[in-house]
Structure 1
Amino acid sequence: MKANPGDFYKHYKHDPSIDKYNYVYQVVNIGLHTEEDGQELVIYRPLYEAYVYRHDKMYDVRPRTMFEETIEKDGKVIERFTLVTDADEIADFTKKVEEMY
């Protein structure tokens, strides 16, 4: 998986029983770390009222390697972020972004 601007992702903590936008994010852009010799950073925003949203609608930033890595949860290897590919979900998430931002 390669994170791309505009794409939507669900974090592994996403729980639709809480809210369908819970831990759903949109990648805004890719940047370079100024002090870490060009380390790529993923700049992304939540589709729910996360900490960064409540603080002036700021962004989350994470090293690209960490954003795209797999993790172990409950003995299984899973993606930290899963790309959303369902057209209906993408349309819904796009509307949510327009409402929030």
Structure 2
Amino acid sequence: MALTAGIYRHYKGQRYLVLGTARHSETMEEVVVYQALYGEYGLWVRPVAMFRETVELDGEPIPRFALEQAEPDLLDGVVATP
């Protein structure tokens, strides 16, 4: 299932802009490419499986990252798509 580009909130409270997914050049593992919306606005990658997993907070399972605002057209005209 494709990951929606947009703004996500990490379970610890910070917000990130998911730009899309990519593949690791050696392992071919699918990773999420995202940017912090705070501090130095660093770019990050994380395996998709880890991005989508749930974590336990106060005894309750919650998503590691929760979609707050979808931006499906975020990269239109910026990158080539098949």
With the length of structure 1 as denominator, give the TM-score of the two structures.
0.62
Amino acid at match of 1:41: V
| Structure 1 segments unaligned to the other structure (5+ residues) | 15-22, 91-101
Higher helix share: 1
User: Among residues 70, 81, 90, which one is paired with 2:54 in the alignment?
Assistant: 70
| Structure 2 segments unaligned to the other structure (5+ residues) | 72-82
Moved over 3 A (4+): none
**Which residue is equivalent to 1:4?**
4
Higher strand share: 2
- Bigger relative contact order (CA 8 A; separation at least 6): 2
Identity %: 41
SS of residue in 1 equivalent to 2:34: strand
For 2:2 and 2:59, locate their aligned partners in 1 and report how far apart those are by CA, in whole Å.
24
User: Among residues 40, 45, 48, which one is paired with 2:35 in the alignment?
Assistant: 45
CA root-mean-square deviation: 2.1
